Amino acid sequence: MTDTPTHCPYCALQCGMSLGGDAAEPGGPLRVTPREDVPANRGGLCQKGWTAAEMLTVPDRLTSPLMRASRDAPLEPCTWDQAVDRVVSEITRLQGAYGPDAVAVFGGGGLTNEKAYQLGKFARIALRTSQIDYNGRFCMSSAAAASGRAFGMDRGLPGPITDLGRADAVLLAGGNVAETMPPFMRHLTDLQRAGGALIVVDPRRTTTARQADLHLQPTPGTDLALANGLLHLAVSEGLLDEDYLAERTGGFEAVRTVVNAYWPDRVERITGVPVPHMREAVRLLARGERSYVLTARGAEQHARGTDMVTAFINLALALGLPGRPGSGYGCLTGQGNGQGGREHGQKADQLPGYRRIDDPAARAHVAAVWGVDPADLPGPGRSAYELLSALGTPDGPKAMLLFGSNPVVSAPRASAVEERLDALDFLAVADFVPSETARRADVVLPTAQWAEESGTMTNLEGRVLRRRQAVRPPAGVRTDLQILAVLADRLQAPGTWSEEPAEVFEELREASAGGPADYSGITYERIEKEGGVFWPCPAEDHPGTPRPFLDRFATPDGRARFTPVEHRGAAEDVDPDYPVYLTTGRVLAQYQSGAQTRRVRPLVDAAPEPFVELHPDLAERLGIAEGAGVRVASRRGAATVRARLTDAIRQDTVFIPFHWAGEGRANLLTNPALDPMSRMPEFKVCAVRLEPVLTPDDEGAGS
C-alpha cells in the first residue's frame, strides 16, 4: 500500500489529500485522507473531496476511443490509430479548404498548468489558429479584467488564505463558499471567533449568508449600485483613508463625483437593501486595521460584471485596503485551475506568463521559446461564447477540438450551443466519460484523470501546487499531453512536444519568464520542499510573492487606478410577460456541469435532481406547491424542475442550480449578453415566468 500526497480534483481551493492504494492495480479502490499540512483546508474536505476517488471507477468510464462513420451513425469503439488518423485528416482537409481558423480549440479551467500551456501552444503553432478559448471565461474573467484595470495584474486572493482568519472584517459579494468550497469557511469562522465580522452580499440567504454577521440581500443585477452606495457612505461619514489615496492611488476624484449621486435612499430603492444595513457594512469594513473585500461569481457573471467588480475595488481602495498586509481586494477563483488555466495560454487574447497576444515583445519572447517566427503566431481570437456561437457559420470554425469542458450544460443559451456544435463538419472531444458534449462528437478520445497523472495547479491564493500520480490510468487511456504530442507530430508541428509533465513545466517556466505571471523560479523540487510557491517568482532564489502590491502596484506608475462606473441594470429586466428574476448557482454535492459528480453515487443521493427555489408568497400567487413540477421559461427556452419553497430568497427572484443536463438545465434559460470588456455572459440574472406543470406526486421533472 502506498500513500500519495496530492490535491482535490475539484475547486480552486485545491484541498490537500493523500490517496492510498496499490499503484500496481489500476481501477482498484483508493482511500482518501485529508492532509493537515495544506493551509487551504487544514485537514478538512467537503463531500466531493471525500468521494473524489470514486470518480476514477464510474461505470461509464471511457477506455477506448470512439468514432462515428457519419454524423447520423452511432459512436463505435475504434483503435487509437484510427481515431488519430480521423482527427488529423479532418484538420488537414478543413484547414486546406478554409484556412487555419477553420479549426477551433476549447479548453477547461480544470486542466493542469502543463496541459493548459501545451493546449495553447498546440493551437497557435500546430494548428496556427486564433480560435482558442476556454470555459474559465465563464468563471472569473470579469474580476480578472477589473483587477488588471485597477492594479495592473490579476491574481485571485491578495495573500495567503490564512490571512482571512486574522482579519477584522470580510465583505463577500456573490459567493456561497459554505457550499462551493466548504473548507474555506474554516478561515471565516476563525475570523468571527476572533471578533471579526463577516458581511455577505447575496439575493439568497444561503448557508454562507446565514453564518454572516450581516447579510445584504440586493435585487439581482444591482450589486454595482450597492457598492457605489457603500462608497458614498464612506465619503459622507469620513471613513476614507486620505493618506493612502494620496500616496498609492490615482483617479479618485472622478469616482467621488460619480458616487455623490448614489445617496442612501436612492440606493435602497434600486437594490432593496435597507440604509441601516449599508451603514453598518461600511463601518464594519472601515473600523479595523485589516479588512477584505472579496467577489465571486454572483458579482461577476453579468453583462456589466467588470464594472460591478470595479465598484467593489473602488470601495476597497477608498478604505485603503489593497496592498497592505492582511487587507485587500480578492476574487474567489472557481474552477480547480481557473487561475493557471488562463495565465498560460488558453484564453483567446493571452500567451504564457499572462502576456497579451497583441504585444510585439510578448510575441517575440514566446515565439523564441517555441522556435517559430513571431509573425507566424496568430492574433487574438473569439471569446468563449462568441466562439461557440460562431461554430459552423459561414465565417466561423468548421471543426473543434475540445478538452476538459462540457458546454452543452455549462454555456449560456445551451440549446443554441447544441445547434452550433451539430453544425460543425467535425467535433473531437477528449474526456474520461461520455459527457453531454462528448456524445455529440465525431471522435471521442479517452483521457486520464487527476489521480492518474502528474502536473501543477495554481490555487485561488496564487500558490502553485503539485498534483501527483497515484495510480496508472486504465489500459487504452492516454493523457492529454500524450494526445497533443501525437497530434502535433502527425501535423508536423515545429518545436518539441513532450508527453512528460515535468518537461513541459520546464518549457512553461521559460515561456513565462519576464511576464506578469512569472513562473521561471518555480521548480517541482521547490514546490515539493516548500508546499507550494506563490507567483510571480522570477528566479530560483526568489522567495515567491505571497502578497503582491505591498510596495507598488503593477501599473506603470505603481499606483492603483480608480475607475468611475455607473449602475445600468441587468441586460434583461423583468416585465409583465417575464415578471420574475432568475439567478443561477451551485449546490454542495455537485460541481460545474456535473459530468464528474453526477456519476458518483453518494453525491447523486445527496443532490439527485435540479430544482427551482422560490419564496412561499410567490409560490402561493402562482399556485405552485412544494415538490411540484414547474416550467420555468425565459425568452431563450424553458426548463422543467421541481419546486423548493423557502423564505431564504427574495419574493421577486428564483434560483436554479446549473449542474444538470436534460430538461432541467438552468442554462437553457440564461442570457448570453456579454460584458464588453471581459466577454463574460450574464449568467446571474435574466427574466423568467413560472407555471405549475406537475403535482408533487408526478414523476419526471428535471429528468
Report which of 9, 95, 2, 3 is spatially closest to residue 378, judged by C-alpha positions: 95
**Exposed e or buried b for every residue in 4-40, given b needs 16+ CB within 10 A?**
bbbbbbbbbbbbbbbbebeeeebeeebebebbeebbb
Q: Would you state the pLDDT for residue 596?
A: 93
Using the predicted structure, report yes or no on whether residue 167 has a pLDDT greater than 80.
Answer: yes
Q: Is 443 helix (H, G, I), strand (E, B) or coil?
A: strand
- As given in the structure block, the three cell numbers for residue 106 are 476549447
- As given in the structure block, the three cell numbers for residue 104 are 477551433
Backbone angles phi, psi at 581, to 5 degrees: -80, 140
Please count the helices (runs of H) and the strands (runs of E) in the chain. 24, 30
Q: Would you state the pLDDT for residue 159?
A: 93
Q: In the CATH hierarchy, which top-level class contains the domain 2-57?
A: mainly beta
- As given in the structure block, the three cell numbers for residue 157 are 486572493
Using the predicted structure, report yes or no on whether residue 5 has a pLDDT greater than 50.
Answer: yes
> Is the bond preceding 536 in cis, omega lying within 30 degrees of 0?
yes
> What average pLDDT does the segment 520-538 reach?
97
3-state helix, strand, coil in the chain (%, to 5): 35, 20, 45
- As given in the structure block, the three cell numbers for residue 175 are 459567493
Report which of 27, 28, 18, 20 is spatially closest to residue 2, judged by C-alpha positions: 20
- The label of the residue with cell 506578469 reads 516
Compute the residue count for the chain.
703
**What type of residue is 605?**
D
**Exposed e or buried b for every residue in 504-537, given b needs 16+ CB within 10 A?**
bbebbbbbbbebbbbbbbbbbebbeeebbbbbbb
- As given in the structure block, the three cell numbers for residue 484 are 497533443
Using the predicted structure, report yes or no on whether residue 23 has a pLDDT greater than 50.
Answer: no
Percent of the chain whose predicted confidence (pLDDT) is above 90: 93
420-431 tens-digit pLDDT: 999 999 999 999
| Dihedral angle over CA of 640, 646, 650, 653, nearest 10 | 0
Distance CA 290, CA 163 (A): 9
- The label of the residue with cell 490615482 reads 250
> What average pLDDT does the segment 197-219 reach?
97
Helix axis angle for 305-318 and 141-151, nearest 10°, is 40
3-state SS, one letter per residue, for 191-219: HHHCCCEEEEECCECCHHHHHCCEEECCC
Residue 379, number of CB atoms within 10 A of its CB: 10
Using the predicted structure, report yes or no on whether residue 26 has a pLDDT greater than 60.
Answer: no
Instruction: Give whole-number Cα distances, 219 to 57, 544, 582, 613, 653, in Å.
Output: 43, 41, 11, 15, 8
Confidence of residue 507 (pLDDT cuts 50, 70, 90): very high
Yes or no: is domain 141-331 CATH 3.40.228.10?
Answer: yes
**Mean pLDDT taken over the chain:** 95
- The label of the residue with cell 428535471 reads 702
Percent of the chain whose predicted confidence (pLDDT) is above 70: 97
Instruction: Give whole-number Cα distances, 350 to 183, 361, 483, in Å.
Output: 32, 13, 23
Using the predicted structure, report yes or no on whether residue 29 has a pLDDT greater than 90.
Answer: no
CA 330 to chain CA centroid, nearest Å: 14
- As given in the structure block, the three cell numbers for residue 477 are 487511456
**What type of residue is 486?**
V
The region that residue 326 occupies, defined by phi over 0 for left and psi between -120 and 50 for alpha, beta otherwise, is left
| CA atoms within 13 Å, Cβ hemisphere of 351 | 30
33-82 tens-digit pLDDT: 999 999 999 999 999 999 999 999 999 999 999 999 988 899 999 999 99
Using the predicted structure, report yes or no on whether residue 336 has a pLDDT greater than 90.
Answer: no
- As given in the structure block, the three cell numbers for residue 492 are 508536423
Burial class (CB in 10 A: 0-12, 13-18, 19+), 637: middle
Q: In the CATH hierarchy, which top-level class contains the domain 580-694?
A: mainly beta
Instruction: Give whole-number Cα distances, 85 to 93, 97, 121, 126, 443, in Å.
Output: 12, 18, 21, 16, 11
Distance CA 614, CA 653 (A): 7
Distance CA 615, CA 580 (A): 11
> Structural domain boundaries of the chain?
2-57, 66-138+336-534, 141-331, 580-694
226-280 tens-digit pLDDT: 999 999 999 999 999 999 999 999 999 999 999 999 999 999 999 999 999 999 9
Report which of 450, 430, 433, 557 is spatially closest to residue 501, judged by C-alpha positions: 450
Backbone angles phi, psi at 78, to 5 degrees: -145, 175
Non-local CB neighbours of 647 within 8 Å, separated by 6+ positions:
205, 615, 616
Distance CA 567, CA 314 (A): 14
Q: Which residues pair with 133 in a beta bridge?
A: 106
Report which of 573, 686, 684, 688 is spatially closest to residue 302, judged by C-alpha positions: 684
Distance CA 402, CA 253 (A): 47
440-475 tens-digit pLDDT: 999 999 999 999 999 999 999 999 999 999 999 999
Instruction: Give whole-number Cα distances, 596 to 49, 244, 406, 475, 601, in Å.
Output: 12, 47, 11, 20, 11
Q: β-strand 350-351 against 355-356: which pairing, if any?
A: antiparallel
> What average pLDDT does the segment 97-118 reach?
97
DSSP state of 536: P
Instruction: Give whole-number Cα distances, 648 to 102, 124, 208, 617, 651, in Å.
Output: 48, 48, 12, 12, 9
Using the predicted structure, report yes or no on whether residue 86 has a pLDDT greater than 70.
Answer: yes
DSSP state of 348: T
| CA atoms within 13 Å, Cβ hemisphere of 25 | 9
Backbone angles phi, psi at 39, to 5 degrees: -60, -30
Distance CA 87, CA 257 (A): 57
Report which of 644, 647, 640, 651 is spatially closest to residue 699, judged by C-alpha positions: 640
Q: Would you state the pLDDT for residue 24?
A: 45
649-670 tens-digit pLDDT: 999 999 999 999 999 999 999 9
Residues 634, 599 contacting (CB under 8 angstroms)? no
- The label of the residue with cell 465563464 reads 138
Q: Would you state the pLDDT for residue 695?
A: 57
CATH dotted code for 66-138+336-534 = 3.40.50.740
Confidence of residue 30 (pLDDT cuts 50, 70, 90): confident
